[in-house]
Amino acid sequence: MSSSDGPSRDGLAGDAAEAALIAEPDFIIHEDGAEEVRGGAAGSPAADAAGPAEAAASGDAPAGPTAVKSPRRSVTIRLKLTLWYGLLFFLGGVILIAANYYMVRNSLSIAPEKARAEVAKQFGLDPSDLEFGHFFPGEPGAQPGQMDRYVTINGVPLPRLIDRAQTMLRAEALRQLWIRSLIALAIMVVVVFGLAWLVAGRLLRPLHAITNTARRLSGSNLHERIMLKGPRDELKELADTFDSMLGRLDSAFTAQREFVANASHELRTPLTIIRTEVDVALSDPEISPEELQEMGSAITEAVVRSESLIDGLLVLASADAESRPGMAEVDLAEVAENEVDITSGEADGLGLRLELDLQPAPILGERSLLERLVGNLVENAVHHNVPNGWFSVKTYTEKGKAFLVVANSGPVLSSEDVERLFDRFYRPDKSRSRKTGGFGLGLSIVKSVVEAHQGEVRLAGLAEGGLEVTVTLPAAPQQQAPKTNGKKSDA
C-alpha cells in the first residue's frame, strides 16, 4: 500500500506518541537537583522528537522517569536488639542441638531385646521364639532340648535380622531426636523473641524518658530533670550526664536573662542623664562654653559609670556561667596584698587604719576571677566605711581550707540588710550609690566567684557597726612548706 492511500502504522504510532507526550508531561531531574517539566505545551513536537535523537547521537541513554521516594523509617533499636537476641539464641540452640545429636549418635546403642521385639513384630512372632538356639515347634529336626547356633526366618539368619532392626531403630531414634529438638528450638525461639522484645523495651525505657524530656525542653523550662532511678549502669550515667548538661544550660540561660534585665535596668539612669544633657544643650542656642564643658563632664561621668556597670555585669555573668573555672595555683595572700596596695591611696585619704595578717593560702582557681573577688571585698571595706575608721584583711589555711577574712568599720547593719547584701543591685543606703559609684553588684560577684570555685562565703554584721566577710575555699594540695611570719602593718 502506498503512502497516499492512508496513514501508515508508523504515522499512527508517531501521532499516539505525540499525544502521550502532550497529555503527560515528562519530569526530568538533573544532576544538580533541579527539575524540568517537559511536555507538548512547553515545546514543539519537533523539539520533543529531536530530544531522543540528540541523546542517542551524544551516546547518553535516556533515563526513565525518576520518582522521589520518601525516606523510610529506619529500624528501631528495640527491634535491632530483639533480632540480635533472637538470632544469637537461635545460633546457640542450633549449635547445642548439633553437638547433642553427634554425641548421642556416637554413643547410642539399641538393646538386642528391643531389636528381637521389632523383628518379632515384623513377622508376627512371639519375641520368646527368637531366643538364641530355639527351634520352632514342628520344624524338621527339632528335638526336645536340642540347641542350634542360628535361627533362621524365611531363610535369613536371625542375627542379620536383629542387626538390621538395631540399625533401623537407631536411625529412627536419631531422626526423632533431631525433629523434636528442632520443634523445641522453634518454640523457644518464638518465646525468646517475645521476651527479648519486652526486655529491650524495659532496658530502653530510660532513653524514652530522655527523649521526652529533650522534646519538652525550651528556654523557659530548663529546670526540668530526668532524675532516673535505678542501678548505676550506662543508662543511669547517661541520664545523669544529661541532667548535668541541663543544669549548665539552665545556669547559662539564667545568667543571660539576668544580665540583660540588670543591664537594661541600670543603664537606663546614665543614658537618661546623657539624653537630658544633650537635649538641654540643643534647646539653648546661646549656650556658653562653660555650660558645654559642664555638659561634657556630666556625659563623660555617665559614660564611665556605664562602662563600670557593663564590666561588672560581664564579670558576674562569667562567674555565674563558669561551672568549672580554669585551674591554676593562686595565693590569696599575694592577691590580697596587691589589692590592698591599689586602694591604699584612697584609704589614706579617708584616714583609715589597715590591719593585715597575710599567711600563705594557696588555692586552685581562675586568677582573674579571684582578683576580682578580693578586689571587691577590699573596695567595699574602704568605700563603705566611716572617716578615721579601720579595715582588716586576713588570709590563712586550716584543715585543707583556705580562708580570706575582710572586716571593716561602718554603719550598723540590720539582720535584714545583712541577709540581702548578696542580692544584685541591693543597697542598704539608697543614697550611697551616687556618692561612691556603686551598683550593688560587688557582693553578688563575690558570691558567684566563690560558688564557681566550690567554696562558701559568710556575712556577719558587727555590733559596733560594719561588716565581716569570711570566704572559705578548698586549699591547693601541696607539700608542707615552712610557715612564714604573718605580715602585719598599720596604715
Q: How confident is the model at residue 187 (pLDDT cuts 50, 70, 90)?
A: very high
Percent of the chain surpassing pLDDT 70 = 68
Rounded to the nearest 10 degrees, what angle do helices 442-452 and 289-321 cross at? Answer: 20
Residue-wise DSSP of 395-413: EEEETTEEEEEEEE--S--
Radius of gyration of the chain (CA): 49
Amino acid 132: pLDDT: 57
Find all residues with CB under 8 Å of 388, minimum gap 6, and list them: 350, 351, 352, 353
Torsion over CA of 241, 245, 251 and 253, rounded to 10 degrees?
-160
What is the mean predicted confidence (pLDDT) over 8-22? Answer: 40
- Rounded CA separation 447/449 (Å): 6
Q: What does residue 301 show for φ and ψ, rounded to 5 degrees?
A: -65, -40
DSSP structure string for 222-247? TT------S-SSHHHHHHHHHHHHHH
pLDDT of residue 361: 92
pLDDT over 70 (residue 463)? yes
Looking at residues 462-485, what average pLDDT do you find? 76
Give 198 or 441, the one with higher predicted confidence. 198
Q: Is the pLDDT of residue 42 over 70?
A: no
> How much is the average pLDDT of 178-198?
92
Q: Which of 37-51, 177-191, 222-236 has the lowest mean pLDDT?
A: 37-51
Whether residue 362 is predicted with pLDDT greater than 60 in this model: the reply is: yes
Q: Are 45 and 159 in contact (CB under 8 A)?
A: no
pLDDT one-digit tens code per residue, 312-337: 667 666 666 655 566 789 999 999 99
Say if residue 344 is exposed, middle or buried (CB neighbours under 10 Å; 0-12, 13-18, 19+): middle
Q: Where are the domains of the chain?
A: 17-65, 77-136+149-203, 325-491
pLDDT mean over 14-43: 41
Amino acid identity of residue 242, one-letter, is: F
**Residue ranges of E strands in 138-267:** 152-153, 156-157
pLDDT at 43 over 50: no
* Residue 136 pLDDT exceeds 70: no
Separation in Å, CA 301 to CA 294, 304, 312, 376, 436: 11, 5, 17, 21, 13
CA dihedral for 237, 242, 244, 245, sign (positive or negative): positive
31-57: average pLDDT:
42
Please say if the pLDDT value at position 199 is more than 70: yes
Distance CA 374, CA 450 (A): 11
Local confidence band at 430 (pLDDT 50, 70, 90 cut-offs)? low
The CATH class of the 325-491 domain is alpha beta
Q: How confident is the model at residue 56 (pLDDT cuts 50, 70, 90)?
A: very low
Report pLDDT for 297.
87
Residue 112 has what pLDDT?
Answer: 77
Q: What is the mean pLDDT of residues 45-63?
A: 43
Q: Which tens digit of pLDDT belongs to each residue from 385-422?
A: 888 999 999 999 998 999 999 999 988 887 777 777 76
Percent of the chain with pLDDT over 90: 17
Mean pLDDT, rounded, for 127-135: 61
- Convert 454-470 into a string of H (helix), E (strand) and C (coil): CCEEEEEECCCCCEEEE
Q: Has residue 339 got a pLDDT over 80?
A: yes
In the prediction, which pLDDT does 111 show? Answer: 80
